[in-house]
Amino acid sequence: MSFGEKLISDLETQRRSPTESIFLAAVQLDKDLLSDALEPDCDPWMIRAAVSGAVSCFTYIQQQHLYVGNIGDAAGLLIQNTGSKWLPKKMSSVHSGQNQREVQRVLSNHPKNESRSVLRNQRLLGYLSPLRAFGDCRFKMTLSELTSLEDRNLDLDNDGQPDKLVLPFYRTPPYLSAKPQIRYHRLGVTDRAIVLASDGLWDVLGHSDVAQLIGAYLDRDPEVFEANAATMLIRRAIGEGWDGKIKQ
């Protein structure tokens, strides 16, 4: 992949801000995933990586400067302590059909006669829930590129049949983007932790719940404290050992 080499060479000739570098790193990584899959001698696993999709949330910390980027419905939450309570600070926006700004962004990139097919039941072309993601080349490549992959007669899902990659209503790609949304925050004395998680956590625990749990964990509350804070949140998300209340 060229994504690391390209960023290093670019930095040698042009000084960029952290926000620009993070943005370009994500975009270049996605380009590499797709271009590698189109190589004639490409390993099937590389094609699988391009066909599969992944949302992402990531952070870069430089002294007091915090940058949080996200793609899709993974999200970041900053946990703050005011001295009397633990509070959540939202550090990302969810890129899905429930976000009207995202819906308008997607619709504006395609002809009006596609407005009924681009998003169906809040899913991209009726199939994909996140409106931004790495990979998922079936929503990005040109029709000829997808056809060339189909012609290899691959069986990536192991169902005994050659894969069909071209989706219904596929007319004006790309439909999906891997451009991250990046937020900046200057860290202060009240900032104590950051949680990066997929929708598997956020669908079942609210921001305030996570802030209270992490706060109790940092206070070493025996009801929630264990060796790993991430494992603690997973247990609470699936309902193990928590009644939804934190003792004050």
Whole-number Å distance between alpha carbons of 102 and 227: 38
Residue 225 lies in a domain: no
Residue 123 lies in a domain: yes
Q: What is the pTM of this model?
A: 0.88
Residue 13 is part of a domain; what is its CATH number? 3.60.40.10
Name residue, tokens 């998680």: 197
Residues in the chain with pLDDT < 70?
A: 1-4, 6-14, 155, 240-248
Question: Within its chain, how far is the Cα of 72 from the centroid?
Answer: 4
Whole-number Å distance between alpha carbons of 124 and 102: 11
pLDDT given for residue 86 in this prediction: 97
The CA R_g of the chain, rounded to the nearest whole Å, is 21
Residue closest to 127 by CA, chosen among 84, 165, 172, 178: 165
Domain total for the chain? 1
pLDDT given for residue 248 in this prediction: 45
Whether 77 contacts 91, CB under 8 Å:
yes
Whether 185 contacts 66, CB under 8 Å:
yes
Residue 245 lies in a domain: no
Parent domain of 118: 3-77+92-193
pLDDT given for residue 203 in this prediction: 92
Residue 224 lies in a domain: no
Residue 213 lies in a domain: no
Residue 146 lies in a domain: yes
Residue 69 lies in a domain: yes
Residue 188 lies in a domain: yes
